[in-house]
Every structure is written in structure tokens, then in C-alpha cells.
Amino acid sequence: MIRIEGVTYSYGDGINALDGVDLEVKDSELLAIVGENGAGKTTLVKHLNGLLKPQRGRVIVEGVDTKETTVATLAKKVGLVFQNPDHMLFAETVEKELSFALTNFGLPPEEIAKRVEWALIEFKLSNYRDRSPFTLSGGEKKRVSLASVLCYDPQIIVLDEPTTGQDSLQKTRLASTLANLNRQGKTVIVVTHDIEFVADFIPRVVVMSRGKIIADGPTEEILIRKDVMEASSILPPQLAELSWKMGLNSPSINTDMIVEEIRQMLRGEQK
């Protein structure tokens, strides 16, 4: 479990990037954190593996106060995939990139080989095994950085803008991978501007604005709230916007529910 209690953090510019944030994430949850640029999303998740420490308040991860442990210790529990893969990649080849953390954590060679092979197949990287990760496209680099974290099997997985540079097929594969990890008991947190991805695949959403959490709950309930979308400067999902424009009694991001309400409206007009 993750508990964030009254966390405040400033980069020294007089503005709080986080302003008294409270959040609880239960074990094996799958959720998204959304909000405009500068809302505090990345600052918040950097507190989960100790890269940042609260200036006020505290962060408890798996029963451990992050102020009382090291980043190296937390990294075994919390895998953070950065928004910019160039901030993570450094090895000569993709294969060496995927095996680096496993080697550092002292896994036996046969286990390292098994996990690397899984990641190469899972993320469609087999053809790039011997390539330098710096010669790959932005989307391919993104997949390498994600695979390098998932290789060492952390209990909590945090992904910052994982769909950037990914086409619709890769997004669907990513969603399937995250769902599988979640079913295996992993806690998965996705930081993203991709509201359609959240609407389609993520069951819980946390909305941030100006360093505060302004909404938190089931995705199908939060993303249809005009007040929340406007306050956070987020473009709503297309289905939510369609619901509003059609004046439906029960706005939704679920296609079947929208179709059913339209049918009911048409039946009423025909009477």
C-alpha cells in the first residue's frame, strides 16, 4: 500500500509543486494520474521511489517511510519509467540495457537470460537485441525503458507518459501488459495526458491541478464531470463530450450505455 499524507514540495521558486497532497493507493490497484502541465503529477510520483523527499508530510510505501530509506532500496519495490527514455538509457545494446538492473540485483545468469528474453518478446524488441538503444525511434526507446523496469519485477510500477510516441496497436498491447501485471497483483500507476487511453483502460483516475488533487474515483464517474475537466484544463474524452452535446440524461464514456440511452430517447419520440 502507498500512503501520501499532507505532502508539500517546492522547487524553490515560491510555488508549491505539491500543496498538501493526500492520496492512498491500495495493493494491486491500477490507476491513472492526470492533469495539465505543471499540475504536479511527475513531482508526486518521484516521491514514490525516493527521488524526491517531502518537505512537509510523509510518504509511506509498503510500510516504509521514504525519508528513512534509500532510493536504491525503494527502487527494488517501485519501478519508475521516466517520461523521456533518454534519461534512463545508457547501455551499448538493448540486451545489455534490459539486463543491467537484473545483474545489479544479483540474479543468477539463467534467470537474467529468461527475463530478458521475455521482455524482448513482450515488447516486440527481439530484432533490436544487438542495436544501440540510442539509434531507435522515440517509441522504440519508450518500449526499451519500460521493458528494462518490468524485467526486474517490482511490486509497484509507475509509468510517466507511457503512450507518447506509440501507435494505436502499441497502446493496446501496453494496456494488455498493464492489465496482466495488475492481475498478477502488481500496483500500476500511469501518469498521462492521454485521456482516451485512461477512459478505455484505467479503472481509477486521480485528477491534479496546481499541486492539489481535485478529484479521485472511478474513471467512468470522474471523466464525465464538466467541472473537473474545466478546472484541470483537460480535454474530456470524446464520448463524454458527445454525451454532453446530445444532452443525454446520463453522460458516459461507455459506448454501449450511450447507444442504449439514444435508443430509449428514440423510443420516447416514437410514442
pTM to 2 decimal places: 0.91
**Quick check: 223 and 199 in contact, CB under 8 A?**
yes
Q: What pLDDT digit, counting tens, does each position of 148-186 carry? A: 999 988 999 999 999 988 889 889 988 998 999 999 999
C-alpha 209/C-alpha 27 separation (Å) is 25
Q: Return the C-alpha cell found at 4.
A: 501520501
When pLDDT is averaged across residues 228-239 and rounded to a whole number, the result is 93
C-alpha 271/C-alpha 177 separation (Å) is 48
When pLDDT is averaged across residues 22-34 and rounded to a whole number, the result is 97
First and final C-alpha spacing in the chain: 54
